[in-house]
Homo-oligomer: A and B are copies of this chain.
Amino acid sequence: MSSKYVYFFGKGKAEGGASMKNLLGGKGANLAEMTSIGLPVPPGFTISTEVCTYYYSNNDTYPQSLKSEVESHLKDVEKLMERTFGDPKNPLLVSVRSGARASMPGMMDTILNLGLNDATVQGIIAQSGDERFAYDAYRRFVQMYADVVMGMDKHSLEHLLEMKKAERGAQLDTDLTAADWKELVAEFKKSIKEHLGTEFPEDPHAQLWGAVGAVFGSWMNQRAITYRKLNNIPADWGTAVNVQSMVFGNMGDDCATGVAFTRDPSTGENCFYGEYLVNAQGEDVVAGIRTPQPINLHQKLPGDLPAMEEVLPECYQQLAAIRTTLEKHYKDMQDIEFTIEKGKLFMLQTRNGKRTASAAIKVAVDMVREGLIDQKTAVLRVAPSQLDQLLHPSLDPKAVKNIIAKGLPASPGAASGTVIFTADEAEAAAKTGNKVILVRIETSPEDIHGMHAAQGILTARGGMTSHAAVVARGMGKCCVAGCGDIKVDYVGEKFVARNGQIVKKGDIITLDGSTGEVMLGQVATVTPEMTGDFGTLMGWVDSFRTMKVRTNADTPHDSKVAREFGAEGIGLCRTEHMFFDADRIAAVREMILSENLEGRLKALAKILPMQKGDFLGIFREMKGLPVTIRLLDPPLHEFLPQENKDIETLAKSLGVSTQQLRHKVEFLHEFNPMLGHRGCRLGLTYPEIYDMQVQAIMEAACELVKNEGYSIVPEIMIPLIATVSELKVLRANAVKVCDEVIARYGVKIEYLIGTMIELPRAALTADEIATEAEFFSFGTNDLTQTTFGLSRDDAGKFLPFYVESNLLPEDPFVSLDQGGVGKLVKMACELGRAARPHIKLGICGEHGGDPESVIFCHNVGLDYVSCSPFRVPIARLAAAHAALGGGTDTTK
């Protein structure tokens, strides 16, 4: 700890600077910086964060030297301002603001006009020549101070104000006179004495120390503690306190106050963008009582009030020059606050401005062109999670929304359509050109064709990685899942939403998959443009990242979309989705219902050419890029109907008795299908299924190599391995089939056989498993389920509560749980590499598209991540951030 606690800034000189955020907080550091580069900043000083730390380590006391340091710097301010703190003739007033390293709502924000009392108010009257202004400022100060520093109940003083207005027959505060405000100040002080038993401090120095103590005290209030916890901000960072001489934007028509961005935060366009109010204080802009005016003509629309460029042209030119200075200095788009007091401009704040995704891209690319920043910096300026906004249509922000329910934002984008409750009807309606929203209690693989046909999907049950959510994200289709607000009545063909609102089949609703909102009627959507800057930036992204990005795709169409988004291969091609196609499911069911090997082989022979066709299509689309194909994973009962009616229909079509079919369905029933007879367990008990799939893969590959000159190295992935013994057997089976096919075609082709690591046991024994696996692909969806003992499909009932209550920092199905699941992944990487140094490592869970998880994957040294086609650009950018040491994605 240094022995210096207070840092002065004023008139071109400052003891601090922008690099001292840890010590001075964001606000204090930038005030000092602006002062140093010659901008007009009202002078003041910052009490450092070390004092806060000292305060809490020493029973709420200050370091001994603090008092004299503050007094000395207060004198410096008085000198520069040519006013004196507490001087009845020519008083100095100050503001006191908190300022932590990171912006922290929940802490004390601001006390203005500090230094006013019955004596100094006279000096303000003299300075301003405006008694009403002076008493208004005085009463505002008393109100603010009583509330924030003294802990007085807000409502008592507001009540007095209302009484006064009633007494005077006044509608607005502005209807009150100087005398009224003066009376109110006295009444406020009396009420404070009555309620708190203490006098309102008249001594400006007592006021100052009271305010400083209140800032430090607010660091440990409940709201601040909760906010820090939620945002992982350590308590020992502490806050700084900024004491700054007051300037007034409300002393007349040559006064103003405003906020501005150095570029358009919505589009990123390189033009000055801001709002201001004449004769107003900062809080008036925020309160929204008066309509702010544009700062310049560029922005001004017909009907707008005059721009600052017109009203205060000199000040505007000065501000425009400052804008350029700031951008050159900070090399980023700035968000600024300013005040004009009697024609004189003062800067009160600057910080990096928040922006939309497209603005972020445009600003970054423009600044490279302008020579302000380099490409690396540009890449790091765009938050990967932001890109999501650019990849889906979204609701027109200006549209009116009648929200009738809210669920989980399961798959981004927005869509409107008529409500339909079954997949078949959805498909039929879509064929006739209708846009539909498929509404289900939950979806199952049998609904896939309906989901394809629909504009969006709404489910009453299921979490962020429920079937509906995962499939919808894979399709890039908007989905609101786990919407407990709605009660679906299939029989009545309707659902009941909030407040008993009934929505029938055929009614139009709109979904916002980015917020989880369900709206009645059609709400307009907008499709963000994907400008050339986006492509430019992604080019730089790819030049910096070292980790590959693949996609999860099961069809030639998805493969194509993913390639367009920059996918460098397929990390997960699920073969079972292909089984659900209407023209195949019959053969699949025939296979499942066969009582013997012969029957199964017969049915599999029908499926073989279809699977082969799938792989031909996908291999062609991927043009030689690596493709990892997972063999059959889900339990067989997923392919059979569960409802009596459907069982009857199927039995008839298959020519078996309903009872026989029902027995089979019952026999295949599982209590916990997630932990059941699936994955490699099927491959071991019914080796003929995997044999058929491997044959289809290899025949497709060999054909393309032989006849079309492709160069393909198929990656065959065996799911749900728990022990090396399973993989050993299945690998041997697969090798046998592969070698047989290769010999038959007489081509030279290599292939890899590997496994998903999706069970804790596989991760724990990855060294053993690596002896039989040429690659690992971390199936972090299932790995999260088993590591947490948490079913994705059932977690909707308590996982939101967990996240809200901060029991979990985030939904672990969305962002990889690094402390638990990640520990297993890391362990498996290390064990796997120890046994097979060049083993290929990747991830194919939903986490492959989550920026923080992608950074984790880079850090543990994975060769690639694989994600939904629509998240490929996000993963690419996150991988670049990771490679550039960009750390965690703090923008989320």
Residues on A lying within 8 angstroms of B by beta carbon are 670-677, 681, 684-685, 720, 722-723, 725-726, 729, 758-761, 764-765, 768, 782, 785-791, 793-794, 797-798, 801-802, 805-808, 817, 819-821, 823-824
Contacts and interface: CB of A to CB of B under 8 A. Distances in A.
Contacts of A785: 675
A759 B782 contact: no
B791 A684 contact: no
A436 B736 CA distance: 53
A723 B787 CA distance: 11
Contacts of A675: 672, 674-675, 785-786, 789-791, 794
B764 A820 contact: yes
B801 A672 contact: no
A768 B818 CA distance: 14
Given A764-B824, A807-B723, A789 B671 contact: no
A85 to B, nearest CB: 48
A761 B821 contact: yes
A534 B807 CA distance: 52
Contacts of A768: 819
A725 B676 CA distance: 30
A759 B729 contact: no
Nearest to A635: B794
A2 B13 CA distance: 91
A728 to B, nearest CB: 9
Contacts of A759: 787-789
Given A722-B788, A760-B760, A823-B764, A807 B684 contact: yes
B672 A794 contact: yes
13 contacts: A670-B794, A671-B794, A675-B786, A675-B794, A677-B794, A677-B798, A684-B802, A685-B801, A723-B808, A725-B807, A759-B788, A760-B786, A760-B787
A802 B720 CA distance: 14
A785 B797 CA distance: 22
Number of copies: 2
Nearest to A729: B807
A670 B442 CA distance: 12
Contacts of A801: 684-685
A672 B673 CA distance: 7
Contacts of A723: 807-808, 820
A770 to B, nearest CB: 14
A785 to B, nearest CB: 6
B791 A676 contact: yes
A794 B788 CA distance: 20
B725 A761 contact: no
Contacts of A808: 723, 725
Given A672-B674, A794-B672, A787 B764 contact: yes
A673 B789 CA distance: 10
Contacts of A765: 819-820, 823
Nearest to A678: B789
Q: In the complex, which of the residues A729, A760, A820 has the most CB atoms of chain B within 10 Å of its own CB atom?
A: A760
A798 B722 contact: no
Given A760-B787, A788-B759, A798 B672 contact: no
Contacts of A674: 671-672, 675, 789, 791
Nearest to A728: B807
A791 B684 CA distance: 17
Given A676-B791, A684-B801, A685-B801, 5 more contacts: A675-B789, A726-B807, A760-B760, A764-B824, A782-B789
Contacts of A722: 788-790, 820
Nearest to A726: B807
Contacts of A673: 671-672, 794
Q: In the complex, which of the residues A671, A674, A765, A823 has the most CB atoms of chain B within 10 Å of its own CB atom?
A: A671
Nearest to A819: B765
Contacts of A817: 761
Nearest to A782: B789
A759 B790 CA distance: 10
A798 B684 contact: yes
A158 B423 CA distance: 69
Contacts of A824: 760, 764
A819 B766 CA distance: 11
A797 B798 CA distance: 31
Contacts of A670: 791, 793-794
A805 B673 CA distance: 23
A673 B676 CA distance: 12
Q: In the complex, which of the residues A764, A765, A768, A823 has the most CB atoms of chain B within 10 Å of its own CB atom?
A: A764
Q: In the complex, which of the residues A685, A729, A797 has the most CB atoms of chain B within 10 Å of its own CB atom?
A: A797
A407 to B, nearest CB: 15
A106 B687 CA distance: 28
B720 A789 contact: yes
Nearest to A761: B820
A768 B817 CA distance: 15
Contacts of A820: 722-723, 760-761, 764-765
A671 B791 contact: yes
A795 B624 CA distance: 40
B761 A794 contact: no
Contacts of A807: 684, 723, 725-726, 729
Nearest to A670: B794
A685 B782 contact: no
A89 to B, nearest CB: 58
